């Protein structure tokens, strides 16, 4: 994995278009990149370690040659180290074809052994190169046939693009990893994500699992199970180029944090009656499961507290990667609610597949309405926050919290009250996100930028926010941060506190207030430097970050200042907050 982009059309600068598209996908995270393009029936390959951002196409003369067909890939290493040889595209010994691939071929070791016995010579350590050699074995039968025969031997998830020196087409196939076709006038694009081709077209066609598409003058879709041609409708995209750009901001992360001034309102003011449908599904279900990964998993955990308090309803919560272990409890009366920004998270998709096999009803809360999760679901609740390009999720997180808060109120029969609470919260966020507030947090970042460890505590619904706060700090500042339930600190973790250790206490103005302040006093007594995130100041705090008092919506406002803190710590520690090391925006492999 991580980013795929390709072009076939009437323009003569295909390499330049593909490199530009890959730059639009940089937010997905990567460590190397490469392209393959066709000129006069020959394939040309260029790949290198590092970032695309500083690369100029004029630096490589052969890329300026006329070419109307190119594929590209930005790689986040899974199999094999970060080397030029392991970067995509991969070719066969004779350079007859070039291939790029997202996903993981789970049986590549067995296939590689067979191919080596058959005389194939491998140049890389990747699982992707196996696919190239499998295709080569049957290339005399034609590119389309050879790809179909190779795919039948693959186990795992993949998105594959192939070009050949002898044919003027791009052939793509997918199983469990996203690919989207952008349909233009006398030209077509295919990418992992829409922003890559948004400049050229706002019409898309979706490639679903176990399907192939042949990109020529018009895309031709084929069902790989039945070998029949599929008719696909063109879907218009509402996003615009400006939404997908940084504008006046230096990074996507701070832009997306500041967009929370209005994203909450957009999230809760959508039409369609989806909330009511979700409520009815929960009422009818015999066991409801909230499933997400990473930040979305922490949102699910927070929602379980909200459902308990507001709706007096028990909801099961687990991470997508762990959910398959619960399949013994699933029946056709069970309900799974999947939470994701991208809608392409591999572990959550696997959880949905397990649930679907048991006949469960599926609901997804996603930002990308055209994602695999959305298309698998019986009901979709879109976040409507626009593209989120920083790897560290911010505006999607608070939108997910808002939707789940609204569902909890609707389940309690008080939807209007929930809406009013969130409208009020959105207004207070608008007041909160001002330059003076950001400067106050920036001052704190300067004080603690040199630390290597810090801790966050919370209680009840804000315990998951302590966990999420730690994730944000880990992701972009690379500070060792851990989140704890306040009451659990004295059962072991308090041994980590020494003089000057920064500790963030998330203190809501609710029934948990005195307990969490008591836990904070215990940290203070052992020399901890206390950062209070609370509606009210307290003598315990060494540094106070004020947040609005918004009742049950406290998780939404409490996480925002920590997002800002993480961002400024990253900048001061000379990290790129949009592209943290070792991470990808959409985790499309297990």
DSSP 79-127: SS-S-TTTSSPEE-TT--EEEEEEEEETTHHHHHHHHHHTT----SS-S
- Mean pLDDT lowest among 13-27, 194-208, 462-476, 486-500: 486-500
Determine the pLDDT at residue 328: 86
Q: How far apart are CA 398 and CA 264, in angstroms?
A: 7
pLDDT at 239 over 70: no
Paired with 454 in beta bridges are 481
pLDDT, tens only, 488-502: 877 887 878 888 899
Angle at 149 between CA 146 and CA 155, to 5 degrees: 130
Mean pLDDT, to the nearest integer, of 214-220?
92
Q: Which residues of 178-205 are buried (b: 16+ CB within 10 A; e: fewer)?
A: bbbbbbbeebbbbbbbbbbbbebbbebb
CATH numeric code, 246-432: 3.40.50.10490
Q: Which is more confidently placed, 134 or 75?
A: 134
Which of the four pLDDT bands, split at 50, 70 and 90, describes residue 555?
very high
pLDDT at 590 over 60: no
Mean pLDDT, to the nearest integer, of 198-220?
90
Which of the four pLDDT bands, split at 50, 70 and 90, describes residue 244?
low
Compute CA distances 479 → 176, 253, 531, whole Å: 33, 17, 16
Q: Is 316 helix (H, G, I), strand (E, B) or coil?
A: strand
Q: How far apart are CA 304 and CA 403, in angstroms?
A: 13
- 363, 337 contact by CB (below 8 A): yes
Q: Is 212 helix (H, G, I), strand (E, B) or coil?
A: strand
Which of the four pLDDT bands, split at 50, 70 and 90, describes residue 271?
low
Determine the pLDDT at residue 64: 65
Which of the four pLDDT bands, split at 50, 70 and 90, describes residue 76?
confident
Q: Which residues of 143-166 are buried (b: 16+ CB within 10 A; e: fewer)?
A: bbebbbebbeebebbbbbbbbbbe
Q: Which of 1-5, 115-119, 307-311 has the highest mean pLDDT?
A: 307-311
Active-site residue set: 2, 585
Q: Is 586 helix (H, G, I), strand (E, B) or coil?
A: coil
pLDDT at 519 over 70: yes
Determine the pLDDT at residue 521: 92
Q: Which is more confidently placed, 108 or 399?
A: 399
pLDDT at 443 over 80: yes
Q: Which of 152-156, 270-274, 435-439, 562-566 has the highest mean pLDDT?
A: 562-566
pLDDT at 213 over 70: yes
Q: Which is more confidently placed, 37 or 497?
A: 37
Q: Which CATH superfamily is domain 2-242 in?
A: Aminohydrolase, N-terminal nucleophile (Ntn) domain (3.60.20.10)
- Mean pLDDT lowest among 17-26, 58-67, 419-428, 455-464: 58-67
Q: How far apart are CA 5 and CA 72, in angstroms?
A: 5
Instruction: Give 284: exposed, middle or buried? Use CB within 10 Å, 0-12, 13-18, 19+.
Output: exposed
CATH numeric code, 434-579: 3.40.50.10490
In Å, how far from its chain's centre is CA 205? 21
- 80, 107 contact by CB (below 8 A): no
Element (H, E) at 331: none
Please name the residues in contact with 229: beta carbons below 8 A apart, sequence gap of 6 or more.
Answer: 220, 221, 222, 223
Determine the pLDDT at residue 59: 64
CB-facing half-sphere around the CA of 264: CA atoms within 13 A: 28
- Mean pLDDT lowest among 71-85, 171-185, 335-349, 395-409: 71-85
pLDDT at 166 over 80: yes
Which of the four pLDDT bands, split at 50, 70 and 90, describes residue 327?
confident
pLDDT, tens only, 272-281: 578 999 999 9
CA-closest candidate to residue 238, choices 387, 365, 20: 387
Strands 288-292 and 335-340: what pairing? parallel
pTM of the complete model beyond 0.75: no
Residue range(s) occupied by CATH 3.40.50.10490 in the chain:
246-432, 434-579
pLDDT, tens only, 41-52: 789 898 888 888
pLDDT at 133 over 60: yes
- 520, 507 contact by CB (below 8 A): yes
CB-facing half-sphere around the CA of 432: CA atoms within 13 A: 28
Element (H, E) at 189: strand 187-191
Q: How far apart are CA 292 and CA 302, in angstroms?
A: 12
Residue range(s) occupied by CATH 3.60.20.10 in the chain:
2-242
Compute CA distances 568 → 388, 445, 573, whole Å: 19, 6, 8
Q: How far apart are CA 518 and CA 540, in angstroms?
A: 10
């Amino acid at each position: 994995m991580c980013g795929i982009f390709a072009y076939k059309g009437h323009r003569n600068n295909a390499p330049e278009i593909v490199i530009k598209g890959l730059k639009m996908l940089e937010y997905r995270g990567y460590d190397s990149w490469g392209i393959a393009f066709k000129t006069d029936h020959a394939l040309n390959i260029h790949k290198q370690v590092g970032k695309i951002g500083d690369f100029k196409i004029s630096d490589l003369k052969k890329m300026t040659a006329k070419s109307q067909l190119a594929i590209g890939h930005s790689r986040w290493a899974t199999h094999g180290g970060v080397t030029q040889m392991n970067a995509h595209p991969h070719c066969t010994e004779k350079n007859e074809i070039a291939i790029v691939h997202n996903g993981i071929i789970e049986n590549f070791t067995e296939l590689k052994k067979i191919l080596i016995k058959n005389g194939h010579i491998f140049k890389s350590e990747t699982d992707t190169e196996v696919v190239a050699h499998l295709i080569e074995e049957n290339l005399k039968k034609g590119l389309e046939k050879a790809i179909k025969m190779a795919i039948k031997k693959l186990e795992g998830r993949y998105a594959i693009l192939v070009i050949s020196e002898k044919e003027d087409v791009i052939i793509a196939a997918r199983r469990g990893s996203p690919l989207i076709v952008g349909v233009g006038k006398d030209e077509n694009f295919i990418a992992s994500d829409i922003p890559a081709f948004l400049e050229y077209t706002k019409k898309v066609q979706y490639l679903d699992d176990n399907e192939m598409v042949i990109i020529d003058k018009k895309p031709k879709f084929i069902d790989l199970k039945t070998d029949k041609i599929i008719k696909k409708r063109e879907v218009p995209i509402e996003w615009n180029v400006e939404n997908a750009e940084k504008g006046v901001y230096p990074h996507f992360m701070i832009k997306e944090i500041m967009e929370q001034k209005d994203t909450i309102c957009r999230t809760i003011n959508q039409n369609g009656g989806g909330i009511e449908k979700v409520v009815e599904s929960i009422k009818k279900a015999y066991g409801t499961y909230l499933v997400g990964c990473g930040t979305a998993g922490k949102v699910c955990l927070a929602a379980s507290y909200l459902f308990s308090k507001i709706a007096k309803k028990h909801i099961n919560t687990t991470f997508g990667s762990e959910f398959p272990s619960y399949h013994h409890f699933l029946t056709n009366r069970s309900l799974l609610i999947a939470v994701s920004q991208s809608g392409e998270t591999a572990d959550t998709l696997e959880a949905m597949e397990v649930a679907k096999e048991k006949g469960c009803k599926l609901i997804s809360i996603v930002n990308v309405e055209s994602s695999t999760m959305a298309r698998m679901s019986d009901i979709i609740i879109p976040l409507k926050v626009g593209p989120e390009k920083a790897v560290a999720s911010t505006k999607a997180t608070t939108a997910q919290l808002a939707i789940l808060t609204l569902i909890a109120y609707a389940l309690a029969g008080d939807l209007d009250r929930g809406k009013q609470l969130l409208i009020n919260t959105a207004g207070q966020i608008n007041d909160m996100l001002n330059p003076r507030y950001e400067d106050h947090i920036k001052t704190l970042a300067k004080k603690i930028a040199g630390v290597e460890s810090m801790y966050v505590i919370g209680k009840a619904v804000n315990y998951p926010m302590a966990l999420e706060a730690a994730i944000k700090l880990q992701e972009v500042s690379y500070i060792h941060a851990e989140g704890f339930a306040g009451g659990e600190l004295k059962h072991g973790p308090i041994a980590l506190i020494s003089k000057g250790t920064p500790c963030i206490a998330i203190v809501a103005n609710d029934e948990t207030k005195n307990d969490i302040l008591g836990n904070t006093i215990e940290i203070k007594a052992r020399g901890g430097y206390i950062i209070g995130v609370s509606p009210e100041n307290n003598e315990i705090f060494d540094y106070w970050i004020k947040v609005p008092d918004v009742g049950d919506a406290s998780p939404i406002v409490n996480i925002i200042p920590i997002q800002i803190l993480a961002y400024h710590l990253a900048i001061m520690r000379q990290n790129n907050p949009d592209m943290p090391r070792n991470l990808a925006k959409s985790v499309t492999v297990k």
